[in-house]
């Protein structure tokens, strides 16, 4: 038995905060590590101690095993918890831990090595009679062998990176002639992401369900499964919504998956928490082993909520050498849990990740709701790491109740300053198909043309944001003794005694949108101009805005009234930036005044739109055009990777490529010009 008094968490964000919570409960001192970009992050504030480990880029900090070890030695930590991602499945960190007498909270080096390669993992599964997806997972990696094997598997097929994770290094091949090109791309992606370009081939299952089994072993002969989860709602092979247990699953299949997972776990002598992933063909009903993840998963809270078992606490106990106190009979599902990943991204704009400051942050509090968050009001979302802001997990007696609680939770989760995918998540949950059998095609089928937010009440939201901002800058004085006092604490807000018309401009992707506000004593008449010049049309409507202040006079609450309907709003104002959050709407607006609007129009040079620019700092992974090429507007010019996602950057205009300023592998700054295009129409 070993003692753990001081545990270093080699991670950041919500999972670092999650492990810190477990430490507090177990009376263990927690140590955060942080990169240059995370100096003020929540996990640093929450831990008992924090050590700076290096630069903002992950490979200079959270991926640097030597830096992590040095930090652990500096403060004499007796154990390291790797979280998920980063070094959680790296043999380098374990080996350093072993050499230096530090406990690694995770499985053995052998388990990680065996399951880290999909080729080897599949071979082990096959030897244990666990069904695997038909395909090729041999050692020979030459094109000729792979193509022959690929033809035998048949099309469509999937090329997968053996070292892959997070959906990277995967390519679908629909027919033989695409094989060579797809192989090259998969290999390139795999070697740059994992330093290993070996691939395997699998039959592409057209309607797959992603089902996984949670394992927990203690190295003393106990190997339990903690039931199953479904993660079929995915985008780009990445999970968006996860739940436990799996619905619409036959008992015999479920039992088969439990048996396979436990058999694999026993074979490995697996210690700690791990997950065996399967794919279930919704057409043939066949289930196949996919891979094993030798770490805690992002979606582990769903299992915790239905089993009542704290997985992080179990990991730490097992790492101390304790035997599990549970037997398989103790593991029972209590109700249903669903998790949604709240990301800083813009689903309406190709899910582009958002960077910036979270100016408004208020978590929902309700029965059956758990929030695992890595941020607070004032936190920065930087371009260096993934865009996960928080996980919201709902638990209820039935799947329906869990879904309802999750929806309410998302509605009442106020986040402003950066865009989030909250509305997208609520759309997913409110489709009737959400209650039928799910497959990984769900999002493509439900949103065939991509997802767009609801138009409803958009105008009212813009007006409320503008009014609140004017109000705030005018030094809002609550009017006392008005008839509105009968409304309790709510007061009509008024601009400092004016009746005059004020002019304001809203910044949009297409330029500036003019608006006019007239009114007083909280009763306003707003005119919004949409489009420009000939195509302009305006919308006018009356609107009222009230506010109240909480008992200590700090937090202001807002309420807007439009056509007799009242809505409560959370509003945060920083200069002319206004973040607004109400149950079905979350927006950040940037306004400009008269002077700035004129400057802006002059500065927006006429030819500014002819370049392909980086939408954020990141890595250029592919350049698809050459100087002199003819391109169409919308054609992908370059591909970038930032915040763990791949972004296709379209050419803004049709024309001829005048200059290519980058090559694959370049790191670029936000806004950098990657490709210049000479447009067809010279007058542009």
Q: Which residues pair with 581 in a beta bridge?
A: 570, 586
* Rounded-to-integer distance, Cα 387 and Cα 403, Å: 23
Q: Decide if 295 is catalytic.
A: yes
Query: Which residue in the list 209, 235, 295, 556 is annotated as catalytic?
Result: 295
Through-space distance between the first and last CA atoms of the chain, rounded to whole angstroms: 74
Among the candidate windows 197-205, 507-515, 589-597, 670-678, which touches ligand ADP by CB under 6 A? 197-205
Task: Identify the three-state secondary structure at position 442.
Answer: helix
Residues 220-249 that bind ligand ADP (CB under 6 A): 234, 237
Q: How far is CA 33 from CA 81, 101, 339, in A?
A: 11, 19, 27
- The residue number with the shortest CB distance to Mg ion is 277
* Rounded-to-integer distance, Cα 66 and Cα 35, Å: 14
- Cα R_g (the chain), whole angstroms: 27
As a three-state string, the secondary structure of 186-207 is: HHHHHHHHHCCCCEEEEECCCC
**Residue 166 in contact with ligand ADP, rule: CB under 6 A:** yes
When CB distances are held under 5 to 8 angstroms depending on the partner's kind, the choice from Mg ion, ligand ADP, none that residue 106 binds is none
Exposure of 237 in the CB half-sphere (CA atoms within 13 A): 17
Q: How far is the CB of 583 from ligand ADP (least distance, A)?
A: 6
285 dihedral zone (left: phi>0; alpha: psi -120 to 50; beta): left
618-623 vs 585-592, strand pairing mode: unpaired
Q: How far is the CB of 114 from Mg ion (least distance, A)?
A: 16
Instruction: Considering the complex, state which of residue 302 and residue 420 has its C-beta at the smaller distance from Mg ion.
Output: 302
When CB distances are held under 5 to 8 angstroms depending on the partner's kind, the choice from ligand ADP, Mg ion, none that residue 211 binds is none
Residues 520-539 that bind ligand ADP (CB under 6 A): none
Contact 219, 269 (CB under 8 A): yes
Q: How far is the CB of 277 from Mg ion (least distance, A)?
A: 5
Which runs of consecutive H residues, i.e. helices, occur in 342-434?
Answer: 399-411, 422-430
Token duo for residue 283: 């057409």
**Residue 88 in contact with ligand ADP, rule: CB under 6 A:** no
**Residue 407 in contact with ligand ADP, rule: CB under 6 A:** yes
Helix, strand, coil percentages for the chain (3-state, nearest 5)? 30, 35, 35
When CB distances are held under 5 to 8 angstroms depending on the partner's kind, the choice from ligand ADP, Mg ion, none that residue 454 binds is ligand ADP
**Residue 210 in contact with ligand ADP, rule: CB under 6 A:** yes
Contacts 24+ apart (CB under 8 A), 119-126: 119/162, 119/198, 119/200, 120/162, 121/291, 121/292, 122/200, 122/289, 124/264, 124/267, 125/260, 125/264, 125/289
Q: How far is the CB of 150 from ligand ADP (least distance, A)?
A: 13
When CB distances are held under 5 to 8 angstroms depending on the partner's kind, the choice from ligand ADP, Mg ion, none that residue 430 binds is ligand ADP
Q: How far is the CB of 208 from Mg ion (least distance, A)?
A: 12
- How many Å is the maximal CA-CA distance in the chain? 86
Residues 562-591 as x/- pattern, contact with ligand ADP by CB under 6 A: ----------------------x-------
Among the candidate windows 202-210, 513-521, 569-577, 616-624, which touches ligand ADP by CB under 6 A? 202-210
Task: Please select the residue that binds ligand ADP; options are 25, 220, 285, 431, rule is CB under 6 A.
Answer: 431
Token duo for residue 606: 């006429």
Of 238, 198, 236, 188, nearest to 621 (Cα)?
Answer: 188
Instruction: Considering the complex, state which of residue 290 and residue 515 has its C-beta at the smaller distance from Mg ion.
Output: 290
For 658-683, letters b (16+ CB in 10 Å) and e give eebbbeeebebeeebebbbbebeeee
- Kindly state the number of chain residues that form the binding site for ligand ADP, as judged by CB under 6 A: 27
**Residue 124 in contact with ligand ADP, rule: CB under 6 A:** no
When CB distances are held under 5 to 8 angstroms depending on the partner's kind, the choice from ligand ADP, Mg ion, none that residue 326 binds is none
Task: Please select the residue that binds ligand ADP; options are 41, 46, 373, 426, rule is CB under 6 A.
Answer: 426
Q: How far is the CB of 444 from ligand ADP (least distance, A)?
A: 12
Residues 277-306 as x/- pattern, contact with ligand ADP by CB under 6 A: x-x----------xx---------------
Residues 443-462 that bind ligand ADP (CB under 6 A): 454
Q: How far is the CB of 456 from ligand ADP (least distance, A)?
A: 8
523-530 vs 199-203, strand pairing mode: unpaired
Q: How far is the CB of 184 from ligand ADP (least distance, A)?
A: 19
Number of other CB atoms surrounding residue 42 within 10 Å: 21
Number of other CB atoms surrounding residue 326 within 10 Å: 16
Residues 220-279 that bind Mg ion (CB under 5 A): 277
Instruction: Considering the complex, state which of residue 166 and residue 335 has its C-beta at the smaller distance from ligand ADP.
Output: 166
Q: How far is the CB of 372 from ligand ADP (least distance, A)?
A: 20
**Residue 134 in contact with ligand ADP, rule: CB under 6 A:** no
**Residue 208 in contact with ligand ADP, rule: CB under 6 A:** yes
Instruction: Considering the complex, state which of residue 583 and residue 650 has its C-beta at the smaller distance from ligand ADP.
Output: 583
User: Which residues of the chain form contacts with ligand ADP (CB under 6 A)?
Assistant: 133, 158, 164-167, 202-205, 208, 210, 234, 237, 277, 279, 290-291, 407, 411, 426-427, 430-431, 440, 454, 584
Catalytic residues: 295
User: Which residues of the chain form contacts with Mg ion (CB under 5 A)?
Assistant: 277
């Amino acid at each position: 038995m070993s003692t753990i008094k001081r545990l270093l968490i080699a991670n950041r964000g919500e999972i670092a905060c999650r492990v810190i919570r477990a430490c507090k409960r177990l009376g263990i001192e927690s140590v955060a590590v942080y990169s240059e970009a995370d100096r003020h992050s929540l996990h640093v504030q929450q831990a008992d101690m924090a050590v700076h480990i290096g630069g903002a880029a992950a490979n200079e900090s959270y991926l640097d095993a030597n830096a992590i070890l040095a930090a652990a030695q500096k403060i004499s930590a007796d154990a390291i918890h790797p979280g998920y991602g980063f070094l959680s499945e790296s043999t380098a960190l374990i080996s350093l831990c072993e050499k230096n007498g530090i406990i690694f909270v995770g499985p053995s080096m052998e388990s990680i090595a065996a399951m880290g390669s999909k080729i080897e993992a599949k071979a082990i599964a096959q030897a244990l009679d666990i069904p695997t997806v038909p395909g090729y997972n041999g050692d020979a990696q030459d094109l000729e062998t792979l193509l022959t094997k690929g033809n035998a598997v048949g099309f469509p097929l999937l090329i997968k990176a053996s070292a892959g994770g997070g959906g990277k290094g995967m390519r679908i091949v629909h027919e033989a002639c695409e094989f060579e090109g797809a192989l090259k791309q998969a290999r390139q992606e795999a070697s740059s992401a994992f330093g290993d370009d070996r691939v395997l081939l699998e039959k592409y299952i057209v309607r797959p369900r992603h089902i996984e089994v949670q394992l927990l072993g203690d190295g003393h002969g106990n190997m339990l499964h903690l039931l199953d989860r479904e993660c079929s709602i995915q985008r780009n092979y990445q999970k968006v919504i996860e739940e436990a247990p799996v619905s619409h699953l036959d008992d015999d299949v479920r039992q088969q998956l439990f048996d396979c997972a436990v058999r694999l776990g026993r074979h490995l002598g697996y210690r700690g928490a791990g997950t065996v992933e399967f794919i279930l063909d919704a057409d043939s009903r066949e289930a196949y082993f996919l891979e094993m993840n030798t770490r805690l998963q992002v979606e582990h809270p769903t299992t915790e909520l239905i089993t009542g078992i704290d997985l992080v606490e179990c990991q730490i106990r097992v790492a101390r050498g304790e035997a599990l106190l549970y037997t398989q009979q103790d593991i029972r599902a209590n109700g249903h849990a669903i998790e949604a990943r709240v990301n800083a991204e813009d689903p309406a704009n190709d899910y582009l990740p958002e960077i910036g400051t979270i100016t408004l942050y208020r978590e929902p509090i309700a029965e059956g709701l758990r929030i695992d968050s890595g941020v607070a009001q004032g936190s920065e979302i930087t371009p260096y790491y993934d865009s996960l802001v928080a996980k919201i997990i709902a638990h209820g007696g039935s799947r329906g109740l869990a879904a309802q609680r999750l929806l309410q939770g998302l509605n009442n989760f106020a986040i402003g300053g950066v865009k989030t995918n909250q509305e997208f998540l609520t759309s997913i949950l409110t489709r009737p198909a959400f209650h039928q059998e799910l497959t990984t095609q769900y999002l493509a089928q439900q949103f065939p043309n991509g997802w767009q937010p609801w138009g409803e009440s958009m105008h009212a939201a813009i007006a409320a944001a503008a009014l609140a901002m004017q109000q705030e800058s005018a030094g809002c004085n609550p009017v006392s003794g008005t008839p509105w006092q009968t409304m309790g604490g709510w007061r009509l807000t008024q601009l400092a005694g004016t009746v005059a018309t004020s002019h304001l401009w809203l910044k949009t992707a297409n330029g500036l949108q003019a608006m006019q506000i007239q009114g007083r004593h909280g009763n306003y008449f707003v005119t919004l101009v949409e489009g420009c010049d000939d195509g302009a049309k305006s919308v006018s409507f009356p609107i009222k805005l009230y506010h109240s202040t909480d008992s200590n006079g700090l937090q202001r609450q807002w309420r807007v009234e439009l056509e007799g309907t009242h809505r409560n709003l959370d509003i945060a104002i920083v200069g002319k930036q206004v973040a607004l959050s109400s149950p079905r709407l979350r927006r950040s607006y940037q306004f400009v005044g008269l002077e700035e609007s004129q400057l802006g129009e002059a500065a927006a040079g006429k030819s500014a739109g002819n370049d392909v620019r980086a939408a954020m700092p990141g890595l250029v992974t592919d350049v698809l055009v050459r100087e002199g090429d003819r391109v169409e507007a919308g054609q992908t010019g370059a591909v970038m990777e930032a915040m763990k996602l791949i972004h296709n950057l379209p050419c803004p205009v049709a024309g001829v490529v005048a200059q290519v300023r980058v090559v694959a592998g370049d790191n670029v700054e936000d806004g950098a010009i990657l490709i210049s295009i000479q447009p067809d129409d010279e007058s542009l």
